[in-house]
Amino acid sequence: MGAGRGTRMKSAKPKVLHLLAGRSLLQHVLSATSELGAGLTLVIAGFEARQVEAAVAGTGVRCVLQEPQLGTGHAVQQAVPLLPEAGTTLVLNGDVPLIERDTAQALVAACGGAQLALLTVELADPTGYGRIVRDGQGRVRAIVEDKDASPEQRAITEGYTGMLAAPTAWLKRAVMALDNRNAQREYYLTDLVAIAVAEGLPVVAAKAHNELEVAGINSPMQLAELERRVQRRQAEALMESGVRLADPARFDQRGTLVCGQDVSIDVGCVFEGDVRLGDAVTIGAHCVIRNARIEAGALIQPFTHITDATIGPRAEVGPFARLRPGAALGPEVHIGNFVEVKNSTLGKGAKANHLAYLGDATVGERVNYGAGSITANYDGANKHRTVIGNDVHVGSNCVLVAPITVGDGATIGGGSTVSKDAPAGQLTVARAKQVSTAGWTRPKKVAK
Which residues are known to be catalytic? 354
Contact of 56 with 63, CB cutoff 8 Å: yes
Identify which of 103, 118, 94, 119 has the alpha carbon closest to the alpha carbon of residue 30.
Answer: 94
The set of residues, in sequence order, having a beta carbon less than 8 Å from that of 13 and lying 6+ positions away, is 48, 51
Contact of 377 with 359, CB cutoff 8 Å: yes
Cα 209 → chain centroid: 24
The set of residues, in sequence order, having a beta carbon less than 8 Å from that of 151 and lying 6+ positions away, is none
**Mapping DSSP to helix (H, G, I), strand (E, B) and coil, where does residue 263 land?**
coil
Distance linking the first and last C-alpha atoms of the chain: 74
Identify which of 404, 425, 408 has the alpha carbon closest to the alpha carbon of residue 416.
Answer: 404
Q: For the CA atoms of 327, 332, 338, 342, what is the dihedral angle to 10 degrees?
A: -10
Strand pairing category for 19-20 and 23-24? antiparallel
How far CA 317 is from CA of 72, 264, 302, 354, in Å, comes to 52, 15, 9, 11
Contact of 334 with 351, CB cutoff 8 Å: yes
Identify which of 134, 187, 174, 184 has the alpha carbon closest to the alpha carbon of residue 157.
Answer: 134
**Mapping DSSP to helix (H, G, I), strand (E, B) and coil, where does residue 32 land?**
helix
How far CA 359 is from CA of 47, 170, 306, 403, 420, in Å, comes to 43, 62, 15, 12, 17
